[in-house]
Structure 1
């Protein structure tokens, strides 16, 4: 089963990198980051979504049960 994690390929918290790995492991995280930036310019509430995801998503390096 696929799980959503924060990526070790980080610029800020690894959320966009984790989303790109969840969608397709070969997808470049820059595409997700650019799309997220465009969405944030039109809807600043996306910043709150990003920081909530940064707090809730586990790190990719942590062990899960």
Structure 2
């Protein structure tokens, strides 16, 4: 079963976009660009979603992977 984790080796800030890219089999750069566009379009509300992801999605090392 696939689980969502924040990556430890493909992270720029906290590993959320890298983890989403790995989970959906998409290049993390595409996820980062989409997150940036969403940040601009949502007038900063996307920062809240990212912060929720940081605190809710477990890190790979914390999950024992």
Q: Same fold (TM over 0.5)?
A: yes
Question: How far apart are residue 32 of structure 1 and its match?
Answer: 0.4
Q: Give the corresponding residue for 1:31.
A: 30
Q: CA RMSD in A?
A: 1.1
Alpha-carbon separation, structure 2, partners of 1:52 and 1:46: 10
Q: Give the corresponding residue for 1:20.
A: 21
Q: Give the corresponding residue for 2:52.
A: 52
Question: How far apart are residue 19 of structure 1 and its match?
Answer: 0.3
Structure 1 portions without partners, runs of 5+ = none
Alpha-carbon separation, structure 2, partners of 1:63 and 1:42: 33
- Using the size of structure 1 for normalisation, the TM-score is 0.87
* Partner SS, residue 58 of structure 2: coil
Q: Give the corresponding residue for 2:7.
A: 7
Structure 2 portions without partners, runs of 5+ = none
